[in-house]
Chains A and B, each alone.
Chain A
Amino acid sequence: MGSRASSLLREEDIEEIKKETGFSHSQITRLYSRFHSLDKGENGALSREDFQRIPELAINPLGDRIINAFFPEGEDQVNFRGFMRTLAHFRPVEDNEKNKDPDAGEPLNSRNNKLLFAFRLYDLDRDDKISRDELLQVLRMMVGVNISDEQLGSIADRTIQEADANGDMCISFSEFIKALEKVDVEQKMSIRFLH
């Protein structure tokens, strides 16, 4: 499968993706074959259903939110580049990347971008703020069913209180970053991709 899949991937595409995401050539071909195997419609793009077919995602409390994160706003399909761009958030930060060309813009796997990915999971309406309701929805997904709404509400209140600096009862992205400044995001939001 691998050879067939990689042959569908043009060399210049690989180069571009490489530049954009920082994945290595072999990582890209490997992930392409995965992409290809997920792509049941064989149309070079994944739909939500393609993701939903991954059984593990059905038992991931945030599974559907994460699937959504793969799709650009308002679209139902994600092509390989978009797929890779999302995955690139989870590339570990390598030592030699830290000081490399500062003018190339922030890499996708920077701390801020990793946090932004998480932030977006909450921020459904994309107003760059996590409201109490949005937080509550995610909390609801992540806790067992036997916590009452009131309890959850109080947890949400507390959580917002902790992070909310300007008193608008929402968590903005900058407040989000600040609240999580002690968390080792680089480590916790990275997975290893085979080289």
Chain B
Amino acid sequence: MQVAPSYLLWALLLTCLIHTVPMEGISGASSERLVYKTRHGSGHRLENASSVLTVSSVHTQNRSGHHHNAGDHDTAHQPKNLTGVPIVSFKWDHVQEPYVVVLWIFVAGMAKLVFELNHNLTSVFPESGLLILIGFVLGGIVWGADKAQTFTLTPTNFFFYLLPQIILDTGYFMPNKLFFSNLGAILIYAILGTVWNAAAVGLSLWGCYEGGAMGDLDIGLLQFLLFGSLIAAVDPVAVIAVFEEVHVNEVLFILVFGESLLNDGVTVVLYNVFDAFVSLGGERIDAAEIIKGIISFFVVAFGGSLIGVIFAILISLLTRFTKNVQIIEAGFIFVLGYLSYLTAEMLSLSAILSITFFGVCGQKYINANMDERSVTTVRYVMKVIANGSETMIFVFLGVTAIDKTIWVWNTGFILLTLLFIFIYRFMGVFFMTYFLNKNRLVPIELIDQVIMSYGGLRGAVAYGLAVLLNENKIPEKNLLISTTLIVIYFTVILQGITMKPLVQWLKVKRAAQAELKLIEKVNSRAFEHILCAVEDVCGRIGDNWWTRGWNRFEEKYICWLLMKPKPRKSRDYLFNVFHKLNLADAMNYVTEGERRGSLAFLRNEDDTHVDFKKKFGVDIEDVMPDITVDTEYNRPDQVPVTSIIHDTVPSVSLNIYEQDLQGMRDIEDLRAHHLLQQHLYRSRKNHRHKYSRSNFSINQSEGEVQEIFQRTMRSRLESFKSAKTGVAPAKKITKLPQKERQQKMANGRPIDRSQSYPYGDEDFEFSASEGDNASGGGGEGGAAALYSFRTLYTAGAGIENPAFMPEMDTPPPMRSPPWLDQPESDASVAPSQRAQRRLPWTPSNMRRLAPLRVSTRSNDSFAMADVVVPEEPEDSPPRRDGTHM
């Protein structure tokens, strides 16, 4: 990121472009650059605390004299160039600054590309560690060329240009439900944990120093505490990078990850406070100052969050009105996000918290308000820049190290620091978890605690803060920087590498046995389904008054304010699904249009297929060509697994049975395993939405869910039918005379107040008649559908409307029940129009049942028990505000 030239490096990389640059100009530029120094470039957030602009020494500082140089050279070169009309002129100085930046980005990207070519490498080493190592190499080249480290990770660049997008990305893709349901624990870890680490590390180091373990250093208690506060915080960038690759369970991930994000508020405050204390000097610190420090914590943390929320509200409002500038509306997200970051920075509040909450609070409304294409754009761009910055950060963390001038080695200090941060992290996590577990629904297991402690990675934030230290106040600044770097390398590289084996090793105990037998496989899957069902029955999350209250408030007021009316209405789960169905439909058309295209199969990407291909593909190919040929891998034009039109698994040679059973045993086993592996329904638990930095996969299993749903409804219908033809109708059915129905349609809402339809409302009716009209029904059909909703609901079970019984066996029209997928998945796509043809046995009134069931209730167990279930008094008028939708 540093823009000064390093010609040899670039000569190595791009000889052809650079070889004409006059060498004497460079050395002049370099030396001048080295002299020209102010702290100009490092005006980071902490300046207000240290409050002095200091002239600092040459090497470790941001070399911002570059513009100056470039100007000099421009003037120097101008006369020469003016000797004639230049047809082509070489103007390196003119483009130098952006050119070098872009080249670095290119090199970092290439480095990443190279690793990814070799999956063996990345499966052992975490990518972040590899990038640091690459950074060492590149730094070595630069050092060899310039005899000085001209490129370093400067706090300005880091905090202003690299960090914001990463944090914005994490906030925007934050699994909100998971985050907020664990917020308590996250806050405990972030606040208490960080304070504990800072204090314990600082004091212990000071103790050891006093005990003589570090020799003679010019450093005092306050400086140690300052160091403790900057080294205490777990780093979000490092944590994401490492944890992303080891697939730990989502709660564990959100705990570590949330902690790393939210502890920034604490870190900033601690750092600022101790920085101020150091400036004040020990004797001037009194109770008042300490109290001010504590107050400043609340101001910084909550103020930062508040800024983020305010900007989230702004962006939500703004996106309500960007319909006419759709082409740039995606840009607003980034601009306002960045503004929220800078504003918080300007007010010396926690910028990271600000942009985090910007993303967390805004995501829902942004996505609802913006055009679908803009949402997609935002997502991709977000991933691109976040991933890119992350790559840059790690590369530069490596490059930075190759600089003799910053290294001050003190074995005692460095080793003790490593030891203490490691030990105290463990102590803190175990201690706090012990208390948290007393109140947690799902206790944090011992293994998870180990991983949490071990995952306390330090990263570039700590380095940035260390570089910002004031050298005049802290004479041992370079020692602190060196130690910080060592800690970063140690945690990111060593702990990063060992994390995966550790996770695997600890997990081995849990899932040791391979499912060798079919019966084991079937039953294990059955167990998962059973557990899932029982959890749903129990409403596992429990009723949570706060959540319920918030949901109501949110839907009633906040959505009203921040969302466009249209998506607000369609925010109902059902509508979303329909929307997605249509979208998927369009995509299907394209896909099928390009039947011969080679990319189509990507849509069917599935782990099981991959595994199968890798494991068995080769062995099986000869013996069982019919299966392997028919996996989606070899037939790019295949429609998804759940299709009915195209039977992806062909009617396999059944003559296997006619052959010698013994001889075919193994292959048959293999085949059966494979079939099951591919076709057993997965339990919902297995594929919940996960945050991922480098990819957001579209959930592939909606078809499956839909299929199950249809089967369930069908079997319920059938069992009802048989019950009906058998003994007695289970319950009375509320019927409305035809006339009343029509009346209702005319008004669009029930006028008969004496008939109570506690869940009837405008939105609901809208959905009913809309759905029906779409499928070709007329007004009367709509009325009938509406009627059916009402009746069904009142009856309770939702399946006993006799009006629809006759239709049941007729082949369905195109619509399919829109119930699908788990609630967290925000990117789900599902079969629709076209796909629905694959569901020939859908009873036509499914789509009426489904909306009923879906729309009158929330779609997940969390809200299920809490939001909707409370019955309204029977005599209350129908609600019309759609709050339950």
Interface residues of A (CB under 8 A from B): 1-2, 30-31, 33-34, 37-38, 40-41, 48-49, 51-64, 66-67, 70, 87, 90, 117-118, 121, 138-139, 141-148, 150-151, 154-155, 158-159, 162-163, 171, 179-180, 182-185, 187-194
Contact = CB atoms under 8 A, between A and B. Distances in A.
A33 B541 CA distance: 13
A180 B516 CA distance: 11
A62 B523 CA distance: 12
Contacts of A2: 543
B637 interface: no
A147 B858 CA distance: 33
A61 B529 contact: yes
B706 to A, nearest CB: 8
A118 B533 contact: no
Interface string B675-708: 1101111001000000000000000000011011
Contact of B533 (A60, A138, A163, A187): A60
Interface centre among B530, B542, B871 (most CB of A within 10 A): B530
A58 B513 CA distance: 31
Contact of B853 (A55, A61, A146, A180): A55
A134 to B, nearest CB: 13
Contacts of A58: 708-709, 712-713, 819, 853
A180 B864 contact: no
A143 B680 contact: yes
Nearest to A46: B537
Contacts of A55: 819, 853-854, 857-860, 864
B861 interface: yes
A148 B651 contact: yes
A49 B796 contact: yes
Contact of B517 (A154, A179, A188): A179
B462 to A, nearest CB: 36
Nearest to A179: B519
B527 A141 contact: no
A44 to B, nearest CB: 15
Contacts of A191: 531, 534-535, 538, 540
Contacts of A53: 796-798, 853, 857
A37 B539 CA distance: 10
B543 A194 contact: no
Contact of B712 (A59, A179, A188): A59
Contacts of B529: 60-62, 66, 142
A118 B651 contact: no
Interface of B: 441-443, 510, 513, 515-520, 522-540, 542-543, 641-644, 647-649, 651-652, 654, 656-657, 668-669, 672, 675-676, 678-681, 684, 704-705, 707-709, 711-713, 715-716, 719, 730, 796-798, 819-820, 853-854, 857-861, 864-865, 869-871
3 shortest A-B CB distances, which residue pairs?
A49-B797, A56-B536, A66-B533
Contacts of B537: 38, 51, 54, 57, 66, 70, 87
Given A54-B861, A66-B530, A193 B679 contact: no
Contacts of B526: 62, 118, 121, 138, 142
A34 B538 CA distance: 7
B861 A182 contact: no
A162 B707 CA distance: 29
A59 B716 CA distance: 12
Interface centre among A141, A144, A150, A185 (most CB of B within 10 A): A144
A60 to B, nearest CB: 5
A147 B649 contact: yes
A113 to B, nearest CB: 13
Given A145-B642, A145-B644, A40 B796 contact: yes
Nearest to B438: A195
B865 A154 contact: no
B534 A90 contact: yes
Contacts of A147: 649, 675, 679
Interface centre among A1, A155, A187 (most CB of B within 10 A): A155
Contacts of B527: 118, 185, 188-189
Given A188-B528, A192-B441, A40 B871 contact: yes
Given A57-B536, A59-B705, A33 B520 contact: no
B517 A34 contact: no
28 contacts: A41-B796, A53-B853, A55-B864, A57-B712, A58-B708, A61-B529, A62-B529, A64-B712, A64-B715, A64-B719, A90-B534, A118-B523, A118-B530, A142-B680, A142-B681, A143-B675, A143-B676, A143-B681, A145-B644, A159-B519, A162-B519, A180-B519, A182-B520, A183-B515, A183-B520, A189-B527, A191-B531, A194-B542
A56 B676 contact: no
Contacts of A179: 517, 519-520
Contact of B520 (A51, A70, A180, A189): A180
A139 B705 CA distance: 16
Contacts of B442: 192
A58 B531 CA distance: 14
B625 to A, nearest CB: 16
B797 A57 contact: no
B712 A56 contact: no
